[in-house]
Structure formats: structure tokens, C-alpha cells
Amino acid sequence: MLKIEDLHLSFGGIKALQGVNFEAGAGEITGVIGPNGAGKTSTLRAISRVSDPELKRGEIWLDHQPLHNMASHQASAAGLALVPEDRRIISGLTVEENLKLAQIAPPIGWSLDRIYELFPRLKERRKQEGVTLSGGEQQMLAIARALARDIKVLLLDEPYEGLAPVIVDEIEKTLSLIKSQGITTILVEQNAVRALKLADRAVILDTGGVVFDGTAEEVLNNAELRAEYLAI
Ligand code: ATP
């Protein structure tokens, strides 16, 4: 289980997070949603420790192991994987080389065969340069690359952005399969309706704090909450 306590993060004078608290249950999908600038990306960056210098206060625990004093590579070795919004596919490398690169150091996760079973499209295109894939395929490669390491928690920043609904359907199926393997997922999404339909739990952020923490179903059934924070 991932436990986030009292996260504070600032960029110069801008307070991006002002006390974020929530828990993500093992093997659950937690949707983190909220208006622009609410602090969603900052929360993922703080959890994965890529924004280390700016973390003012707060604790991050993964199965009782403290992560808040770790560097990002240590958090990654402990089982966290961030798939950032821009996907960071490495140019000049094929699909398979991108995957193999993720496996050069332990902890090594899924084998290439297992990854290709989940992503047959990547298998077909394994010799193609990663950056020439379509947007949806690049998102799949970015998720596959996270699974190539032995992870407990998958942190996804706007995985549906710019993708056609039919491709989002495919990504959702993949995320359900990943969930069935016991991996904990935190899904940051602008597309709140899609995120809530897939998620077990929902956290709504606004101006750097948590304004709702409950089940995804509760949000879908609460018109007031939806109108106030999600404009849906
Ligand atoms: P969006 O949905 O628009 O992507 P978000 O909820 O992900 O927004 P964040 O990107 O976490 O929000 O930003 C939270 C606040 O922190 C915003 O006010 C943003 O302008 C500020 N911020 C984020 N990154 C930086 C940075 N590198 N330098 C300065 N301010 C930043």
C-alpha cells in the first residue's frame, strides 16, 4: 500500500502542494483528478522523487518503507515507476531496444515475452524506431517499459491525452490487466469521466490540497462535486 502524508511542494514562491494526504490500496486503481493547476502532476513528481529538491515537508510510505528521503533512482529500485505525460521514448532506439534498456539493471520485471503477450502491437513493431510509433502505441511502450522493471506502483500522468476514444479503450483494457497482476496504479487524468469509470478510488485535488477522497462511484453519483471541481 502507498501512503502519502502531508506533502508540501513549492516552486520558488508558488505553493504547488499544500498538504496532500491519501492512501492508494494495493492492487487498486486510484484516479487523481481536479482542475488545471490543482497539483496533480506535482503530486506524481513528488511521489516518484523526481522533484526532490523542492519537497518541503511530507512523507511517502510504500508497504511501510519510507521513500521521502530517497533519490528518484532509489524510489525506482523500491518499485515505483512514473510514466510522464511526454512518455520519454528514447529516439534512435527501436521498440525492443527501449524495453531492453529498462532491463539493464535490477530489479528486472516482466520478460519481453510476457510484455509482448500483453501488447501484441508492440511485438509486431518491435523493430520500428520507438518515436515513430503512433501516440497510442507510444503510450503502450511507455507503460510496457515501466513493467520491464519489477514495479509495485505505476504512476501515470495523463495517459489518455491526445488519444482517440478507441485507443483509450485499449489502454483501459491494459490497465485492467495490470491491476489483475496486483500492481497499484495512480492515474492522473484530465478526462475525469474515463478515469472514474476505471478507477476504484478517487482523489480530487484543488489548489494543492485534497478536497475529496473516496470511491470513484461516489464522485460519479455526486452532481455537486462533479460540477464544482470537474466541470462534468
Ligand atoms: P494540469 O491539469 O493543468 O496539468 P496539474 O493539476 O497537473 O495541472 P501541476 O502541474 O502540478 O498541476 O501544477 C501545480 C501548480 O504548480 C501550478 O500553479 C503550476 O503553475 C505550478 N508549477 C508546476 N510546475 C512548476 C515549475 N516547474 N515551476 C513553477 N511552477 C510550477
Q: Residue 53: is its pLDDT beyond 60?
A: no
- pLDDT, one tens digit per residue, over 124-182 is 999 999 999 999 999 999 999 999 999 999 999 999 999 999 999 999 999 999 999 99
Model confidence at 96: pLDDT above 90: yes
What per-residue confidence (pLDDT) applies to 54?
A: 62
What is the pLDDT, as a whole number, of residue 56?
67
Which contacts of 213-217 are long-range, i.e. CB under 8 A and separated by 24 or more positions?
Answer: 213/21, 213/22, 216/31
Which of residues 138 and 56 earns the better pLDDT score?
138
* Percentage of residues in the chain having pLDDT higher than 90: 85
- Residue with more model confidence, 104 or 28: 28
pLDDT at 74 over 60: yes
Residue nearest to atom 29 of ligand 1 (CA): 11
Give me 22's grid cell.
Answer: 491519501
d(CA 220, CA 232) in angstroms, rounded, equals 9
Using an 8 Å Cβ cutoff, are 51 and 16 in contact?
no
Q: 54 in the Ramachandran plot: left (φ > 0), alpha (ψ -120 to 50) or beta?
A: alpha
Measured CA to CA, the distance from residue 183 to residue 126 in angstroms comes to 25
pLDDT at 57 (0 to 100): 86
Residues framing ligand 1 (Cβ under 6 A): 11, 14, 16, 34, 36-42, 190
Percent of the chain with pLDDT over 70: 97
Ligand 1 mean position, distance from CA 123 (Å): 36
Please compute the mean of the pLDDT values over residues 82-100 and round it to a whole number: 95
Q: Which of 67, 64, 69 lies closest to 26, judged by CA? A: 64
> Cα of 157 to ligand 1 centre, how many Å?
13
In this prediction, residue 55 has a pLDDT band, given cuts at 50, 70 and 90, of low
For ligand 1, mutation pick of 10, 11, 51 (most atoms within 8 Å of CB): 11
Q: Is the pLDDT of residue 51 over 80?
A: no
